[in-house]
Chains A and B, each alone.
Chain A
């Protein structure tokens, strides 16, 4: 805030410095001190949170790899009118052939590298591009590797292409006459791409860069998204149903009982995730404890044992139990501070218990339910290890595919896009929640 004080009215401190300046100085000092205190935290958040997420979002649209490896080919490629000819014109084949011959990398990483090293760098450039190209169409990898090997051998033997480069390439490998390979290149034209986001919802680009559905037997992600959502909603719902009475009991019992009961909530919470997951398998499997008891009691026949694990039922049961404390604890801390007199007052004023509960108690627990619900839902939607172990074929939620693309297929673009969508879903939920309930209504304790 600026206050205009004319120079004549300036108040001076004892050492002759205007009071305003002196005050500002101390204030700035305090501000710097405060900032220095939070500075490590700020750095920590930037390094561990902002940068990785930013990097992930950048990666999900990055497609610069191939363009830098075969720049001339792509330059010629965009001139190709796909209505005119089934295969691209000779110029494309020629550019590609010459870029296969090339043994110097397009990005010079090392100024004084010798020939062998440059050759190896170029091979690595090509190698990285191949991994990417193979996502658009299976088979690119060995097609280019074999062709390049043959061409480099020809160069070594001093053989030159006479006549058409197109015929030369097709002679080396007949797949070069397969238009689908050429069509798939239209997915790789730009340095920034949305293809991974489309892939993440079972769509792809056709040869004219129109968005089309993936072939039927590759449609996977929409179903997985729905499945993940469904499981998360179920788990959140069951956590709420089961957690509410428990929290209520904990909050209203005398301290010495509630403390003991609290241990029962916290003990599983502190137990290793894997132990709890494995315990559920032991309980639920066909020759497991529950089926065994039911058969022993004669409720089930030996052949009629129920399949309770390695399917969605098992996933929901195990995840609900594992995530339950995340619902109970915020609910408990909110219920703890609701004065008991409120319910009594409502009943004194003539409300039936059910009515008093619904109109007086329940609204006051909304902050706890919201906090617990959001917490459980957010954790459930990205859950990985429990569904993986107890879910069988239904256990492959979106986390499974993120891990698969991160580790095995190395398709980090698609991996980031899946992560980006997950992040987007969370933000939308947060926004919706804020609109409907209001975010300042959330309470963890």
Chain B
């Protein structure tokens, strides 16, 4: 008996250190978004302990970790242009060879094709899909007594709808919205930006028309405060924040879906990740259609995999409070027609220059 015990103790000592190291660290944005990730991807996962850490975006920390050789994060939740740059620079590990092991859609469609069905080309070989989120204009209908704004052009029309507008302090999505408001079709925005000289000037000229009525924000929670307190009558915001206010906090905000700019979100494997195998296994779990649909129970960001949307539609009312969620989803087929699909390649080429120009414009 005691011999058995000894062997057992000895064995557990052998096993223990290995079991203890299998903790996957994921860096993500925090707030309601990370909460929804934990509910959908961590609480449903037993194979390893997954720990979330907050960060403020950007590749700065990842680059510092990889360059100094002391990698702490295994997986990072990033924007698409960072997924591209990080993969190019070798900050993220190429996992394209593993894509075949990722969960296919219920009908057997592979992951990459499943993404293509929602209109996304996989731009980075180092990452797995997460969600669609959008820059969208919203307002409090009580702020307008008569006609309510309904088109993106109304956002830029302070004569028709007087009052201040909330806009973020960096240039993404604003350029696109200004062009759509100026009459460019949502699908043609990047064609105009790439091929017409002076397209940027046109966007900035449109912005000039409302410049005196802008309140600039830089934190994602700000636009809701601004609209709620009446500081502005309309604001650009992340759609999930507006959805959360409507679905969980009883607000009654309206969206202007036209001209919204759809952005993607990826999870990427950091080069030299200390728990590579466990991290990869978790990424497979977190990018399966079922997990992605599950996340939409807690936040109104759309799954990037087309089969995830199908699961939500079939399961309505899907939101965890028992409300229908599809009317708050930014990427339904109807909305895709009037939305701009953000082009991360164009932004990674031109972003730095446009941000500086935007900063100069703001300061003048």
Contact = CB atoms under 8 A, between A and B. Distances in A.
Interface of A: 120-121, 123-124, 126-128, 130-131, 134-135, 138-142, 145, 217-220, 223-224, 227, 285-288, 310, 388-389, 392-396, 401, 404, 406-411
B363 A227 contact: yes
Given A286-B231, A287-B231, A219 B360 contact: yes
Contacts of A288: 229
B353 A218 contact: yes
| Interface SS, B side | helix
A152 to B, nearest CB: 14
Interface string B200-238: 000010000000001111110000000001110000000
| Interface SS, A side | helix
Given A128-B89, A141-B349, A392-B216, A406 B60 contact: yes
Interface stretch (B6-14, B51-59, B319-327): B51-59
Contact of A223 (B90, B214, B363): B363
A437 B324 CA distance: 70
B214 to A, nearest CB: 7
A389 B58 contact: no
B144 interface: no
B88 interface: yes
B158 interface: no
Interface in B80-121: 85, 87-90, 94
Contacts of B345: 142
A409 B89 contact: no
B355 A218 contact: no
A138 B219 contact: no
Specify which of A396, A406, A410 lies most central, judged by the most chain B CB atoms within 10 Å of its CB. A410
A14 B356 CA distance: 79
Interface residues of B, number: 40
Given A224-B363, A285-B229, A138 B90 contact: no
B357 A218 contact: yes
B231 A285 contact: yes
Nearest to A396: B359
Interface in B332-355: 345, 348-353, 355
A142 B230 contact: no
Contacts of B349: 134, 138-142
Given A126-B88, A220-B363, A393-B169, 8 more contacts: A142-B348, A217-B360, A220-B360, A223-B364, A286-B230, A393-B216, A394-B363, A409-B351
Contact of A410 (B59, B90, B355): B59
Nearest to A219: B360
B94 A120 contact: yes
Contacts of A388: 218
A69 to B, nearest CB: 12
Contacts of B47: none
B362 A393 contact: yes
Contacts of B218: 388-389, 395
B39 interface: no
Nearest to B58: A407
B325 to A, nearest CB: 31
B63 interface: yes
B85 A410 contact: yes
Nearest to B362: A393
A256 to B, nearest CB: 42
Given A218-B353, A218-B356, A286-B231, A131 B363 contact: no
